[in-house]
Structure 1
Amino acid sequence: MRLYIAIPCVLLALVFAASGIAGITRGWVLPENRHRVRRLRLYGWGQLVAAVALCRQMLFSTVLSDPDTLDPHIREWGILSGGALLLTGIILMGVSQRARGARQGTGTP
């Protein structure tokens, strides 16, 4: 167990999750990101998903690193799914920074 790596990463993930919850519930984003983010709640969901992914990766890579605790395949799949969640969170945050498309017409003649 390498807790000297896991504890700061989990604390960082908690701060990231708190920022994501603030974005979801209140529509609040850090001042550095306010001018870029167009959809506040989606950005908050992306932060929350990325925080869960970081915690999941730390759990499977450092805390459960003893070979006797888990089957190595379960550990690998846990780390891989954490990476997929992290990528999903980053994609959500990226999509939230894009401007919404303006509709050209109503579609009726």
Structure 2
Amino acid sequence: MERYLVLPLVLLALLFAASGIATITRGWVLPMNRHRVYRVRLYGWGQLVAGFALCWQVVFGLVLSDIGIRQWGTLFGSALLLTGIILMGVSQRAGGHRR
């Protein structure tokens, strides 16, 4: 197992989730993304889901050794990661004007 990957990936996931929590609670977005994000809370939820998905994949992909649980866990983590990326993408679209 690649246990030397676990600590950096978990740290990255926690930083990603912390940024999502800061975005949800305070409305703070990283400076490089501020001009693109139109729906701040949705962006924060996307970051939080993506951070959780990365932790999920680390646990099921690198820590557990049972192949059956490992496959389904990483597949579900990939679906969660895709959901988080879609949420962040939708939050960067400008809303239409209703008449």
Aligned residues: 99
Report 1:25-64 matches (<5 A). Answer: 25-64=25-64
Deviations 1:58-101, CA, capped at 9 Å, x for gaps: 1011111x3xxx3x222111000000000000000000000111
Instruction: Please name the residue that 2:93 is paired with.
Output: 98
Structure 1 gap segments, 5+ residues each? 105-109
Instruction: Please name the residue that 1:13 is paired with.
Output: 13
TM-score with structure 1 setting the length: 0.88
TM-score with structure 2 setting the length: 0.96
Segments of 4+ in structure 1 off by > 2 A? none
Tell me, what secondary structure is at the counterpart of 1:103? coil
Report 1:82-97 matches (<5 A). Answer: 82-97=77-92
Paired-residue identity, %: 71
Alignment partners' CA distance in 2, 1:58 and 1:45: 20
Alignment partners' CA distance in 1, 2:94 and 2:77: 28
Structure 2 gap segments, 5+ residues each? none
Deviations 1:25-54, CA, capped at 9 Å, x for gaps: 011000000000000000000000000000
Alignment partners' CA distance in 2, 1:4 and 1:55: 15
Alignment partners' CA distance in 2, 1:63 and 1:73: 13
Instruction: Please name the residue that 1:107 is paired with.
Output: none
Q: RMSD of the TM alignment (CA)?
A: 0.8
